[in-house]
Amino acid sequence: MGIIKGPTFIKKSDNLIYSIWNGIFCVRRKPEYIHNPRTPKQQLGRSKFGLVAHLGSKVLHTLIHPYWNPIAKKIGYNLFLRTNTLVLSNGDCSIKKLKLCLDNGLNQEEFTVTRKSDSLQISWDSTKTDRRKNANDQLCLMSLTDDLDFELIETSTLRKDHSFELALTPELKKYYFVFWKNRNKWSESILVFSE
């Protein structure tokens, strides 16, 4: 790349590209050929990144700013993209594998899910964790559709309650993720149910 200094009249040329970089006029040659591979692996990578980037733009204010930025020191969107693109790296672009929230210090539970006719019963046993320390952790739910419509629900259910009932909407296929929250700490999100 060449650098032009001083006041200069720039003339367009067929094989040169003129640009300004940091206030400096730059000249470079046009590439002879632009390589754009469309191999199956490239296409899969692009579809994974597209899925994660589209979701990231939808959940920017509700999920990334409050839950990813504190972990990533204000570059939560980049961490969200990198983490979820890597999660989908085995060739599966399934929404079920997404990490919507990273661990920030709280333990996650093993959940038991029972489907009823119009509701979902989510229960857990917190005997493995210190009850006094984690008893007031708040259960948070996230629902995600195939169209990437996202909803974050911060419930009033606490870890010491041992169960939560969620009304289902049968007309929409949704994936339900849960995590625990206590002030500025939270657990990693996990998928508990998909309709």
For the stretch 166-187, pLDDT in tens is 988 777 788 999 999 998 899 9
pLDDT on residue 135: 85
Same domain, 181 and 124: yes
Report the pLDDT value the prediction gives residue 7, as an integer from 0 to 100: 46
CA distance 115 to 91: 30
Say yes or no: 41 and 74 in one domain: yes
Looking at the 3D structure of the chain, how many domains does it have?
3
Assess contact for 25 and 46: CB atoms under 8 A.
Answer: no
Reported as a single tens digit per residue, the pLDDT across 18-64 is: 877 777 888 888 888 878 888 988 888 888 888 899 999 999 999 99
Q: For residues 161 and 15, which has the higher predicted lDDT (pLDDT)?
A: 161
Shared domain check, 195 and 143: yes
* DSSP bridge partners of 109: none
Phi, psi of 145 (to 5 degrees): -100, 170
Q: What is the pLDDT of residue 12?
A: 56
Its domain, for residue 6, covers 1-35
Task: Determine what percent of the chain is predicted with pLDDT higher than 90.
Answer: 37
In this predicted structure, the answer to whether residue 147 has a pLDDT above a threshold of 90 is no
Asked if 185 and 127 sit in the same domain, the reply is yes
Q: Residue 40 carries which side chain, given as an amino acid letter?
A: P
**H-helix segments, 88-179:** 131-134
Same domain membership, residue 176 and residue 157: yes
Identify the H or E element spanning 44.
helix 40-58
Same domain flag for 30 and 91: no
Chain mean pLDDT for the chain: 84
> With bands split at pLDDT 50, 70 and 90, how would you rate the model's confidence at 9?
very low
Quote the strand ranges of 41-149, DSSP E: 111-115, 119-124, 138-145
Are 16 and 63 members of one domain? no
